[in-house]
Amino acid sequence: MTPTSSDSTSTPVALEARGLGHSYGPREVLGRIDFAVRRGEFVCIVGPSGVGKTTLLRCLAGLQRSTKGELLVLGERVTAPQPGVAVVFQDYSRSLMPWSSVLHNVTLPLRANGVSRSEADRRAREALTQVGLAAAVVHQYPWQLSGGMQQRVAIARALAYNPTVLLMDEPFASVDAQTRADLEDLVLRLQHSLHLTVLLVTHDIDEAVYLSDRVVALSGSPATVADIVDVPLGAERDQIETKGTHEFAAIRAEVHGLVRHAATSGSGSGSGAEA
């Protein structure tokens, strides 16, 4: 499979996996994974639950070292968390510090990286505004907010960090449908305005197709890239209009086929890929 698609071959690669493999002890979870994400691209990785998406994302984030192959992020081999890479974790209730205010949650990474207090405050407030949180919440504790708002805080924390690459692990899996749609559009908007490179992991095929420029479908056990599907739906997307188009339905069906094929021919890891 070729990691590059027809157009825009000139754009530099932000993130690349070469023959990536990972085993937990004797258990091989990721087989040989190859794909690349170019600067400014929005790529989603889909696959059923338990296929190894989180493992892949943790390797990319430098949180764990892959047992085989190599990973390049912004031109560097990943051995530890890289500067310029921010992560939004799946479970907002566990990824925000309950003892710190919203503001302190967002400023901690900045302060830790040598940003002055006043500058960190300014950037944090700006990021919180960008994700649509009112100034009133900055001094509240995260657990005083709704789930959707908490995930907005987590996104703001990532944005304030000023990343080039944003990694997201099923960021909308535990919020209600309406909030989820809002947050999807929020991330799309931010990705455009800030020229972010986004790699988002999800088990939801609709979400993957709606959000991304390309979808990487993982399947099998150990997981490999079943295929990489281009999503030529344009830059402007709309929850109702885009999802109503024939192209959307066609791509959705294609990805569905890839994942379902995996579920039936693979190790029987369940049909967790239903939207």
Partner 1 sequence: MTIQTEPSARADEAPDAASTPRRLGRLSWLLIQTGTVLLAGGVWWFASTLFPPSTLPPPAEVIARLGELAITGGFWVAIAITLGTFALGLAICIVVGIPLGLAIGANPIGAGSTRLLFDFLRTIPPIAILPLLLLVFGAKFEMVLVLAVSGAIWPILIQSIYAARQGEALLAEMSRSYRIPRAWYIRHIFVPGAIPFVMTGVRLGTTICLLLTVSGELLGGAPGVGFEIANAQAFYDNTRMYAYVLVAAVLGLIVNGGFWAAQRRLLRWHPSVRREQHS
Partner 2 sequence: MSAVRRTGLIIALEIWLPVLLVAIWWFASESVNSVYFPSLRKIMTAFVENWLDPMSLLDNLGPSLQVILVGYGTALLVGIVAGTLLGLVTPLERAVRPIVEAARAVPGVALLPLFIVLFGIDQEMRILLVAYGAAWPVLLNTLDGVRAVEPVLLDVGRVFRVGRVRRLFRVILPSAGPQIFAGARISLAITLIIMVVAETVGASGGVGYFLMTAKSEFRISDMWSAIVALGLLGYLLNILFRIAERYVLRWHRLQQSRLGGAS
Residues that bind Mg ion (CB under 5 A): 54
Q: How far is the CB of 240 from partner 2 (least distance, A)?
A: 34
| 173 makes contact with partner 2 (CB under 8 A) | no
Give Cβ neighbours of residue 272 (< 8 Å, ≥ 6 apart). Answer: 48, 49, 50, 203
Q: Using CA atoms, how far apart are residues 209 and 140, in angstroms rounded to an integer? A: 35
Q: Which does 11 bind (CB under 5 to 8 A by kind): ligand ADP, partner 2, partner 1, none?
A: none
Q: How far is the CB of 140 from Mg ion (least distance, A)?
A: 28
| 261 makes contact with partner 1 (CB under 8 A) | no
Residue from 24, 116, 139, 143 binding partner 2 (CB under 8 A): 143
Beta carbon nearer to ligand ADP, 105 or 219:
219
CB 229 within 8 A of CB 254: yes
Integer-rounded Cα Rg, in Å, for the chain is: 18
Q: Which does 95 bind (CB under 5 to 8 A by kind): partner 1, ligand ADP, partner 2, none?
A: partner 2
C-alpha closest to that of 242 among 207, 273, 268, 200: 207
Q: Using CA atoms, how far apart are residues 124 and 48, in angstroms rounded to an integer? A: 35
Q: What angle do CA 215, 218, 224 make, to 5 degrees?
A: 125
Residue from 14, 16, 36, 53 binding ligand ADP (CB under 6 A): 53
Q: Which does 194 bind (CB under 5 to 8 A by kind): ligand ADP, partner 1, Mg ion, none?
A: none
* SS3 state at 25: coil
Q: How far is the CB of 218 from ligand ADP (least distance, A)?
A: 8
Q: Which does 51 bind (CB under 5 to 8 A by kind): ligand ADP, partner 1, Mg ion, none?
A: ligand ADP
CB 228 within 8 A of CB 217: yes
